[in-house]
Amino acid sequence: MARKASLSGFPELLPEERLVENHVLDTLRETFELHGFSNIETRSVETKEQLLRKGEIDKEVYGISRLLDENSTTKSEKEQLALHFDLTVPFARYVVENAGYLNFPFMRYQMQKVWRGERPQDGRFREFTQADVDVVGDGALPFRYDVELALVVIESLRKLEIGDFKLRVNNRKLSEGFYRGIGLDDTAGVLRSIDKLEKIGPDAVAQLLKDELGASDEQAQAALNLAQICTEDTSFVNEVKKLGVEHALLEEGLRELEEVVGQAAKRAPGNIVADLSIARGLDYYTGTVYETVLVGHEKLGSICSGGRYESLASNGKRNFPGVGLSIGVTRLVSRIISQKMAEPTRKVPSAVLIALTSDQTWSDAQDVADSLRQRGIACEVSATAAKFGKQIKFAEKRGIPFVWFVSTKEDGSLKHEVKDIRSGEQIEADPQHWAPSTEDLHVRIEAAQ
């Protein structure tokens, strides 16, 4: 990812960088499944009508058609195809179409590429991988899943050893109830203004509230006072109450956020933050909202975000509420690689290079390789019988720790020796029983010291 891309916004990785990405994906997959989530994959293509159902983002959607399709411009949105720009919209369609085959609450995770026509910059790409984890219900969804999602994501990111991070949590009911309590009924408009707080600052946000929503100085200041509350425990409840605003929706949001933060702080202290400036400007969020930042890399933006939506999808007769989070895998991996936050212990999967003493020993070397591979030891065989020093150098460049030598004894039997090229130690070895240490068996991704 450090190389100059020939197509801007479409990243490609070197083999050792791909090892880091695979480690991230494998860790997420393992953690999601430990919590009971099932994996699905949806198609990359949706109809334009389906993709634009949740908002006007047509400038970011990549349409697709056959190069010689003369009717592509006259087709209706139901007929026009486009690449999905996230995994939530395809998931909503998937739930509706397969509702009769799913058990609810349905817990799914999904890791796929998505495409978005954004201006490429640090952390933003046109083609990138997302990892989504959601729970969706049929008609209703217990609130406890909002807590579960926070714990799943915290556990996943902790396992990646990416340094300190903060899962910032708020609740739309809390915010909307507060705004109604101070007389601002256009709560969606207030949320969109508050969502710009980190970009333009409190003074500019206050002016937006007054100019666009007709807020008084007192109302604008009250909205900012709420947004400035940020605690790592449930003490935010008292801070909100001190503001003296009352509304039933506010009370409901306070109770829900208190449960999320209380449980997460108990199990993952230091990683959860009640941050009442988090607005998530998208209209479909209805309760808990999440954003995650890497400490020291805040300018990268959120690496994981999401929230509760009371209507993920509907087929007219049934409504499917849900709660979910999306991890920007490519954004996260790009920062891990560029900042050397974690690195693979070697560039290739192979733990052993089987050297050739002569071209005639290639078949014997393959026998050794077969024996090692049958026992789960990744290895490769030299293609030519170059000088041993050159073969060892080849292994060294790739980070392969062991070189295996096969020679013929005076009685015609084969002699096997394996050399640890890091220490120089060389010992006789039996292909049927020898194995590297647990640490050397597989590539490991190690956090920077």
For residues 123 and 305, is the Cβ–Cβ distance under 8 A?
no
d(CA 372, CA 376): 7
Give residue 211's identity as a one-letter amino acid code.
D
State the residue for tokens 């990243």. 11
Residue 11, amino acid: P
Q: Which residues are annotated as a binding site?
A: 86-88, 116, 130, 134, 280, 284-285
Token output for 142: 């217990």
The neighbouring-strand residues paired with 39 are 109
DSSP category for residue 244:
T
Neighbours of 12 (CB within 10 A): 12
> Per-residue DSSP letters for 89-146?
HHHHHHHHHHGGGPPSSEEEEEEEEEE--PPPBTTB-SEEEEEEEEEE-SS---THHH
Find, among 374, 432, 372, the residue nearest to 402 by Cα.
Answer: 372
DSSP character string of 400-414: --EEEEEEE-TTS-E
Give the Cα separation of 360 and 244 in Å (integer): 87
Are 136 and 95 spatial neighbours (Cβ–Cβ below 8 Å)?
yes
Asked if residue 300 lies in contact with residue 313, where contact means CB atoms within 8 angstroms, the answer is no
The rounded distance, in Å, linking the Cα atoms of 364 and 414 is 9
Q: How many CA atoms lie within 13 A of 366 on its CB side?
A: 7
Q: From the annotation, which residues make up the binding site for L-histidine?
A: 86-88, 116, 130, 134, 280, 284-285
φ/ψ of residue 323, rounded to 5: -145, 135
CA dihedral 318, 319, 324, 327 (to 10 degrees): 70
The residue type found at 133 is: V
Strand order in the sheet with 165-171: 38-39, 106-115, 127-136, 319-328, 304-314, 288-294, 165-171, 272-275, 230-231
Return the structure tokens found at 352: 């052993």
